[in-house]
Amino acid sequence: MSLKSMLEAASRGGTVEITDGWTQGRAIYGGLTGALLLASIKGRLRDAAGDGAGDGADKASPHPLRSFTVSFVGPATTGAVEVHAEVLRVGKNVTQAQATLRQDGAIVATALAAFGKHRESTIVVPPRHPMPQLPEPGTIEPFPYIEKMTPEFYRFLALRQVGGALPFSGAETGDLSGWAQLREAPEEFHEEHLLVLADAWPPATIQMLSGFAPASSLTWTLELVTEIGPDTIPPEAVFAYEATTDASRDGYAHTHAMMWRPDGALTAISRQTITVFG
């Protein structure tokens, strides 16, 4: 199944067949997991709008996504997964929904999504962190896919690292930066595609390890600062990325990252709690 086919299947709910090539280690890549959960939620919202025409259910049509939080409960592997979404509340300004991903009867991931309409406000705070100064994307070779050495999903994403070090290299700091892009541009760029890109980078903290040790995301929240869709983002979009390790102790690291369009507009803020076994 292609990424498009998997997202379309998730939007219908039920069984989705996860194709080979979308793993990191033994588990399905987290960005894909998040995108499938979001696609399921948006599909359920569309169904709800159609089922109740005339009784106000049309309000269930989603506003722009504002926040999306994933809890990675357990590892999911390639093959069949079951995805189910539920609308929690449709308010005047905000719609909230949740989705669950199961495999072999066990919950492997859950997500909460908040959609909010544009509102007039007297509070306007420009982003405090400008886009970092990065070389042009075309001047940097993306990480290659090397069988059994790099994550499988690298064959679908082009990550061009600028700042920071390689994982497990004993670096003194846990920060990194670079460019991220889908290798094959979709027909249209949607919020699901941003989720695929936002989780693509290795956890910034693990470059501080001097040798290999397992690490994985426990929770992940993506906050969208600008509206994402075909009218605002071209299919071949490339995003600047900068991650900072805020703190780490007791086997848990806490990071935040920002994504910008090439024109310097802040697009999203990503926050993660990472488990580190080393």
- CATH code, domain carrying 95: 2.40.160.210
In angstroms, the CA 163 to CA 173 distance is 11
DSSP-derived secondary structure for 80-127: EEEEEEEEEEE-SSEEEEEEEEEETTEEEEEEEEEEE-----S-----
Give the integer Cα–Cα distance in Å for 174 and 271.
14
40 and 160 part of one domain: no
Same domain, 65 and 142: no
Q: Which residues contact 49 (CB under 8 A, 6 or more apart)?
A: 57, 58, 59, 60, 61
What does the pLDDT read at residue 233? 95
Number of domains in the chain: 2
Q: Residue 251 falls within a domain, yes or no?
A: yes
Inside any domain, residue 49: yes
First-to-final CA distance of the chain: 35
Residue 169 sits in the same domain as residue 276: yes
Clarify whether residues 156 and 245 are in a common domain. Answer: yes
Tell me if 266 is assigned to some domain: yes
Contacts (Cβ under 8 Å, ≥6 apart) of 3 = 32, 35, 156, 184, 186, 196
Do both 155 and 258 map to the same domain? yes
Please check whether residue 249 lies inside any domain of the structure: yes
Please tell me the predicted confidence (pLDDT) of residue 59.
Answer: 41
Give the count of alpha carbons within 13 A of 211, CB side only: 1
| Among 119, 145, 164, residue at a domain's last position | 119
Does 54 share its domain with 152?
A: no
Residues 154 and 177 in one domain: yes
pLDDT in tens, the chain (278 residues): 799 999 999 999 999 999 889 998 888 999 999 999 999 999 999 998 876 443 333 344 569 999 999 999 999 999 999 999 999 999 999 999 999 999 999 999 999 999 999 888 999 998 888 999 999 999 999 999 888 788 899 999 999 999 999 999 999 999 999 999 999 999 999 999 999 999 999 999 999 999 998 888 999 999 999 999 999 999 999 999 999 999 999 999 999 999 999 889 999 999 999 999 88
Task: Give domain status of residue 126, yes or no.
Answer: no
The answer as to whether 125 is a domain residue is no
Is residue 267 assigned to a domain?
yes
For the chain, the farthest-separated pair of C-alpha atoms sits apart, in whole angstroms, at: 62
Same domain, yes or no: 155 and 273: yes
Co-location of 181 and 75 in the same domain:
no
Q: What is the pLDDT of residue 51?
A: 62
User: CA 75 to CA 71: how far, in whole Å?
Assistant: 11
What is the pLDDT at residue 62?
67
Same domain, 196 and 68: no
Q: Among residues 63, 240, 89, 229, which one has the least CA distance to residue 162?
A: 240
pLDDT of residue 1: 77
Please give the model's pTM, rounded to 2 decimal places.
0.93
Please indicate, yes or no, whether residues 167 and 275 belong to a single structural domain of this protein.
Answer: yes
Last residue of a domain, one of 86, 119, 152: 119
Co-location of 183 and 243 in the same domain: yes
* Structural domain harbouring 208: 131-278
pLDDT value at residue 232: 92
119, 146, 169 - which closes a domain: 119
Strands (E), 164-212: 176-182
- Going by C-alpha positions, the residue among 128, 84, 131 that lies closest to residue 110 is 84
Per-residue pLDDT, 61: 52
Residues whose CB falls within 8 Å of the CB of residue 225, separated by 6 or more in sequence, listed in order: 127, 266, 267, 268, 269
Q: Give the CA angle between residues 198, 70, 277 to the nearest 5°.
A: 85
On whether residue 211 sits in a domain, the answer given is: yes
- Class of residue 201 by CB neighbours under 10 A (exposed 0-12, middle 13-18, buried 19+): buried
